[in-house]
Structure 1
């Protein structure tokens, strides 16, 4: 399962119980991988809907990497206009299911998520708590709507990158996680550099609420002091709290290629001398353009990343 709907600056559209009713309809439509990934950057989905659906994309068969499906969860029977919009997102005709009970179908659909190991980190859902190894840094992230459970390769890649930095002897005292989603990357950074000041932001207030809940579950202290996590709603770097904390010696952003390129000037200005930036959420075909945007700001490319979902590392002069 890849919850690509939240692959925009990592957050959620809305949890099922935040609307006026229960999730009662699920609409499924086949799509290509490109179509599934595209919904992550679509900020204008269902803007005319009174109760917009929660939309996620799924890769049901890893042996068929281009055959994805899109699921849309509605509180009420979808209108003809909403079905037309769904047809435009995928391929073929949407299949409508009436869900007979009040089950949280979005969470249920993700309960099969297996734990992942990335560097020294082990990330799991509550049902896999008993599987926690004794020799890992463990985080429990519920299988909800927010992007960043660790299942997506971009999140796991960022965890690996942070672990490698720590192994190399890097030390950071002022950290920012932009587009935090579940808070996971900020938690990992504080686990590696426990005396650091850390701020995590997201454009979506729901994601910040999710991050705060996850911090409590995982014993991460929130607050303004060293070793504590400050959480704030922010659009990119546009936040008084970010401005007050800058410059950062480590900046992490797992969002999308387009926003990463747009944010290059403000990210570069927010980095301390010699500061490191970790960028993810981009495809291998987008890595060069993202890296070039930051090199144009005077940053040095340290690691261009590799694989389908590269994690790019750059350093300020």
Structure 2
């Protein structure tokens, strides 16, 4: 794996009850709009005491008063307790916080986060170790995309040219290539570390890197702003598991990369953001073909409407940069 780079890590600790801890399982919508949401962990403070648990929130950078206030709303029982806010030694806090995650099964895919976890027979197994890139399968958006890809394959959909914009760990690109092994696959992320980690994950999972059929080509890019991403278009399947803001901003450039009749799978948005995201893509000639919600996180499958005559979409113009700085995958 890529060597970790130290970051400034802070931890906020609050007491909570077991019921409050269990309510925090999964991803918290309250933090979804933050550029760098905290990683939440709960544990028993006293064995067999349901009212003696703790909540630990790991932040990249010192949390402000608003973030701490929001955190307090998650554990009402600690209303009178002063939170413990402390800076941690320089270390790779994302990796540490993800160590020990349970394997995830989504559709035909089984995603392990630790080398010691056993593979599952009759599933497509991936090993995606905890790292500084997101997309280990734990987040509802990633598992929702895996399930959507699985359903598309089960109903007989076929693709020959796939792009995964904001790839994170590379998992969704790898999954698409396992489903359609003769396809070209392009994966990109704004974070060069994520691209390095994706390359490591590809080698660990026997996924070939390269520009040919059955291989994944990796690029560092903000959105679609890379000549190779443009040059490998048009795509018949494009996946973008990022956030609602960049999804809306990138709608023109992403849709221009997709051929008529092609498919876009979108994730990383909340339920209340779905209408705004859909509106941005409908303007670009997309229609909603399927929606699947996992908790507060929908996965959208869109299809590009064929057009004729003067309404026909023009080729992607590389001068229209199509970038969304500061955003990678979930």
TM over 0.5, yes or no? Answer: yes
Kindly report which structure 2 residues correspond to 1:223-262, keeping only aligned pairs within 5 A, or say none.
Answer: 223-262=210-249
Q: Report what 1:28 is aligned to.
A: 12
Q: Report what 1:90 is aligned to.
A: 68
Q: List gaps (5 residues or longer) in structure 2.
A: 15-23, 44-53, 73-81, 306-330
Q: Cα RMSD (Å) of the superposition?
A: 2.7
Distance across 2 between alignment mates of 1:298 and 1:174: 20
Q: List gaps (5 residues or longer) in structure 1.
A: 1-14, 43-54, 62-66, 74-81
Q: 1:316 aligns with which of 282, 304, 328?
A: 304
Q: Report what 1:71 is aligned to.
A: 58
Change (3 A) 1:105 1:293: closer
Distance across 2 between alignment mates of 1:225 and 1:258: 32
Distance across 2 between alignment mates of 1:270 and 1:261: 15
Residues 209-247 of structure 1: CA distance to partner in whole angstroms, max 9, x if unpaired? 110110010010000110000000011111101110011
Change (3 A) 1:298 1:118: same
Q: Report what 2:255 is aligned to.
A: 268
1:24 shift after superposition: 8.6
Change (3 A) 1:103 1:314: closer
Kindly report which structure 2 residues correspond to 1:143-292, keeping only aligned pairs within 5 A, or say none.
Answer: 143-292=130-279
Q: Secondary structure at the match of 2:245?
A: helix
Q: 2:38 aligns with which of 56, 59, 71?
A: 56
Change (3 A) 1:25 1:159: closer
1:106 shift after superposition: 3.9
2:103 is the alignment partner of 1:115? yes
Distance across 1 between alignment mates of 2:264 and 2:30: 29
1:297 shift after superposition: 1.2
Q: Secondary structure at the match of 2:211?
A: coil
Q: Secondary structure at the match of 2:84?
A: strand
Distance across 2 between alignment mates of 1:68 and 1:154: 23
Structure index of larger Rg: 2
Residues 32-64 of structure 1: CA distance to partner in whole angstroms, max 9, x if unpaired? 94552232x35xxxxxxxxxxxx7322649xxx
Distance across 2 between alignment mates of 1:197 and 1:146: 23
Instruction: Indicate the larger mover: 186-195 or 256-265.
Output: 256-265
Cα pair 1:200 1:232 within 8 Å, conserved: yes
Cα pair 2:109 2:125 within 8 Å, conserved: yes
Q: Secondary structure at the match of 2:38?
A: strand
Residues 79-99 of structure 1: CA distance to partner in whole angstroms, max 9, x if unpaired? xxx64x533433166624576
1:127 shift after superposition: 4.2
Distance across 1 between alignment mates of 2:234 and 2:253: 11
Aligned residues: 271
1:208 shift after superposition: 0.2
Distance across 1 between alignment mates of 2:245 and 2:93: 31
Instruction: Indicate the larger mover: 300-309 or 284-293.
Output: 300-309
Distance across 1 between alignment mates of 2:68 and 2:3: 23
Cα pair 2:287 2:304 within 8 Å, conserved: yes
Give TM-score scaled by structure 1 length. Answer: 0.78
Distance across 2 between alignment mates of 1:162 and 1:24: 37
1:295 shift after superposition: 1.1
Distance across 1 between alignment mates of 2:161 and 2:174: 14
Cα pair 1:29 1:87 within 8 Å, conserved: no
1:144 shift after superposition: 1.7
1:291 shift after superposition: 1.3
